[in-house]
Amino acid sequence: MKKTLIIGATPNPARYAFKAAQLLKSKGHDIVNVGIKKGEVAGEEIEMPDAIHNDIHTITLYIGTDLQAQYYNYILKTSPKRVIFNPGTENEQLEALLKDNGIEPVEACTLVLLSTGQY
Would you state the pLDDT for residue 9? 98
* SS3 state of residue 95: helix
pLDDT digits (tens, 9 = 90+) for 53-69: 999 999 999 999 999 99
CATH of the domain at 68: 3.40.50.720
Residue among 6, 26, 2 at smallest CA distance from 16:
6
Would you state the pLDDT for residue 27? 96
State the pTM of this model: 0.96
**What's the half-sphere exposure (Cβ side, CA atoms, 13 Å) at 87?**
6
Would you state the pLDDT for residue 117? 94
> Could you list the residue range(s) of the whole structural domain that residue 107 is in?
4-115
Q: How many domains does the chain have?
A: 1
Angstrom distances, CA of residue 48 to CA of 10, 55, 68, 78, 115: 12, 17, 14, 14, 28
Within the chain, which residues score under 50 in pLDDT? none
